[in-house]
Amino acid sequence: MKRIFLDNAATTPLDPEVMAAMTEVMSGTYGNPSSIHAEGRKARSLIEAARKTVANYLNCSIGEIFFTSGGTEANNMALKNAVRDLGVTRIISSPLEHHCVLHSLDAIRATGAARVEMVRIDERGHVDLEDLRKKLAEEGGKTLVSLMHSNNEIGNLLPLEAVAELCGDAGAMFHCDTVQTIGYFPIDLDRTRVSFLSGSAHKFYGPKGVGFVYVNSDNIIRPYLDGGAQERNMRGGTENIYGIVGLARALEIAAAEREARMAEMWEIKRYFIEQLKSVYPQVAFNGDTENSHCKVLSVSFPESPKGDLLLMNLDLAGISASGGSACSSGIDVGSHVVGHLHPDSKRHTIRFSFSHHNTREEVDAVVSKLGGML
């Protein structure tokens, strides 16, 4: 049975060109990049070339890019170091952030080092910019705003430039979780003032276990992981060379094919919405289906006796989807995002997330198979 993969917000398949680039490094570049001999210098050159690729994509300095194990580490590093090293005593965020941000905020709050405030979310899941403006105008000490570029469960997009401008005008720092949008949207950090930004390779057809954090050069922070002098003394531990090379190659391909990929995903997403509405008129969509990432669609189905088994039955039918974020899949805790937007709803929610590899035929198959599951 050929499976239909509609969980691309959780992860994406490794691009064959990326795999080839990584395999070449695995087989031929075994030196430690901290060593000064030829093998070490070769490994170091690959890492620095990858750093330049990321910096060019973001239009920032190579000295502002640090490789990490992924988005979770990058977000933890930005939030916790901002409090520890930069004197941040107030963080403004939203209740719809990824759990790695929310749990980091819980840990910060528990230390008493900074207080955390939540900005209002409107009925469609967008950040209320007027409420953010009011909060920024209040006296509250050195402030960091932490908001994600695209919600990983409902796909809503943050007006990145507008939020950056609000933060800049108020003298606040701005951390943006861009894990879902790197490789899909152009981001120009020379024009858009951001203090910290995070990315993860496996969201744009690269390998798992590698990502990066952008740290604006104005922010002088100490290492998050202590060890050797790797990553310019900012992250101890021997670098994941082939992962870093894979990240850079995946980003190069994503940037080159961005417009074509986005057009294909929008076509699939809109077709899926049309087919669902036509066959199952009682379905509802969470968030703003247009002002959102083409990759993500959150669908709520009417309450039914079979609803609790919907995700499992999809899997048995060869369809991979998610009940919310991947971090909650398989655990019956529900989606904190959908729960915040619709606290009294008893509907059953599935997140379908697309790639440029998906087809109309796959959509038709999913819509057809859903009939016996509802």
User: How far from 275 is each of 280, 290, 293, 366, 367, CA to CA, in Å?
Assistant: 8, 16, 19, 10, 7
Q: Are residues 192 and 317 in the same domain?
A: no
350 in the same domain as 203: no
The SS3 assignment for 271 reads helix
Q: 308 or 319: which carries more pLDDT confidence?
A: 319
Are residue 124 and residue 221 in the same domain, yes or no? yes
Domain stops at, among 256, 284, 308? 256
> Can you tell me the distance from the alpha carbon of 13 to that of 204, in angstroms, rounded to the nearest whole number?
9
Instruction: Please give the structure tokens belonging to residue 246.
Output: 């894979």
Domain of 199, CATH number, reads 3.40.640.10
Q: Is residue 352 scored above 90 in pLDDT?
A: yes
Give yes or no: residues 274 and 197 share one domain. no
Same domain? For 216 and 262 the reply is no
Which residues, 6 or more positions from 233, have their beta carbon under 8 angstroms from its beta carbon? 223
Q: Are residues 313 and 349 in the same domain?
A: yes
At 50-65, the pLDDT tens digits run 999 999 999 999 999 9
Question: Would you place residue 344 in the very low, low, confident or very high pLDDT band (cuts 50, 70, 90)?
Answer: confident
Residues with a catalytic annotation lie at 327
Say whether both 100 and 38 belong to one domain.
yes
Its pTM stands at: 0.95
Element at 352 (helix H, strand E): strand 348-353
Structure tokens at 30: 């075994």
**Residues in contact with 195: Cβ distance below 8 Å, sequence separation at least 6, in sequence order:** 78, 82, 144, 173, 174, 175, 215, 216, 218, 219
In the predicted structure, residue 324 carries a pLDDT above the cut 80: no
Of 219, 241, 256, the position where a domain reaches its end is 256
Print the SS3 string covering 48-80: HHHHHHHHHHHCCCHHHEEEECCHHHHHHHHHH
CATH number at residue 354: 3.90.1150.10
Query: Which residues lie below 8 Å from residue 253, measured CB to CB, with a gap of 6+?
Result: 15, 17, 18, 205
Rg of the Cα trace of the chain? Answer: 21
Same domain, 214 and 301: no
Mean pLDDT of 225-235: 90
346: confidence class by pLDDT, cuts 50, 70, 90: confident
Q: Is the pLDDT of residue 306 over 80?
A: no
Same domain, 126 and 95: yes
pLDDT of 70 above 80? yes
Burial class (CB in 10 A: 0-12, 13-18, 19+), 128: middle
Range of the domain at 315: 4-12+257-370
Q: Reply yes or no on whether the pLDDT at 328 is more than 80.
A: no
Residues 265 and 232 reside in one and the same domain: no
* CA distance to 6, 160, 176, 262, per residue, from 187 (Å): 26, 9, 11, 15
Cα 151 from Cα 337, distance rounded (Å): 9
Q: If you ran DSSP here, which 8-state letter would residue 150 be given? A: B
What is the average pLDDT score of the chain?
95
| Domain end point (choices 206, 221, 256) | 256
Same domain, 56 and 173: yes
DSSP reduced 3-state for 125? coil
> Three-state DSSP class for 286?
strand
- Give the chain's domain count: 2
- Same domain? For 83 and 182 the reply is yes
